[in-house]
Homo-oligomer: A and B are copies of this chain.
Amino acid sequence: MPRSTRHDPETTVRRAAHLFWERGYHACSLKQLETALDMRPGSIYAAFGSKESLFRAALMAYYEQLHQGMTQVLASHERVLDGLAAYLRQLAVEATMQPDNEEAAPVPACMMVKTLLEATVDTPGLEDTVNDLFDRIERDLTTTLETARDQGELAADVDCARLARLWQAQIMGLRTFAQRRVDAEVVTLLAEDMIQAMPVT
């Protein structure tokens, strides 16, 4: 008997993620979300419950996409450190192309980082969620590096958790820097300098 949904939940969340990613949580009004999702407030609240719940769903979707992209690049390189270098180069490219369609990044900076810096004590749900996602990435990268170490790619005494966090901080720094009004080449050169600086052990 039930009626099927008019809106595909995945598409809805993806569109919300795009707007939240571009403008941040507080600067996104429900009016703007209604327009972006082509849904009226009643539908939005029936489907997601609150603006914060919708944001969390959007952030999770963003994370999934990010994680998948990173995993793909790492998997396509023999050595993990080569994969990380390639990933940093890819981020530099993505950060320096202007957003031409709705699939591309609306801004250079990472939505997770933007959320990390925008969350306050008034939005504990956002803090918890974003911290959990950063933990996941750190653990995932640590495990990947440990596998590489056990296979002899890295020296046996390398602290993979520290190395993972060093790379994570490079990614944060690169994409945040790219949010500045700078030429594309500056971002590209920064990525190369970061890659050059990272330990090759």
User: Which residues of A are at the interface with B, using a C-beta cutoff of 8 A?
Assistant: 22-24, 26-27, 109, 113-114, 116-118, 120, 122, 127, 131, 134, 162-163, 165-166, 168-170, 172-174, 176-177, 179-181, 186, 189-190, 193-194, 196-199
Q: For A190, what are the chain B residues with a Cβ–Cβ distance below 8 Å?
A: 162, 165-166, 169
**CB contact under 8 A between A197 and B166, given known A26-B26, A134-B180:** yes
Give the complex CA separation of A118 and B176 in angstroms. Answer: 11
Most chain B beta-carbon contacts within 10 A, residue among A169, A176, A196:
A169
By the criterion CB–CB under 8 Å, are B120 and A117 in contact? no
Q: For A27, what are the chain B residues with a Cβ–Cβ distance below 8 Å?
A: 26, 118, 120, 122
By the criterion CB–CB under 8 Å, are A117 and B122 in contact? no
Give the secondary structure class of A's interface.
helix
By the criterion CB–CB under 8 Å, are B120 and A179 in contact? no
Most chain B beta-carbon contacts within 10 A, residue among A23, A114, A181:
A181
By the criterion CB–CB under 8 Å, are A166 and B179 in contact? no
Give the complex CA separation of A197 and B181 in angstroms. Answer: 26
Q: For A23, what are the chain B residues with a Cβ–Cβ distance below 8 Å?
A: 120
A198 CB, nearest partner CB in chain B, Å: 6
4 closest pairs, A vs B, by CB?
Answer: A173-B173, A26-B26, A169-B173, A197-B197
Q: For A173, what are the chain B residues with a Cβ–Cβ distance below 8 Å?
A: 169-170, 172-174, 176
By the criterion CB–CB under 8 Å, are B176 and A176 in contact? yes
A131 CB, nearest partner CB in chain B, Å: 5
Give the complex CA separation of A126 and B130 in angstroms. Answer: 25
Give the complex CA separation of A24 and B26 in angstroms. Answer: 10
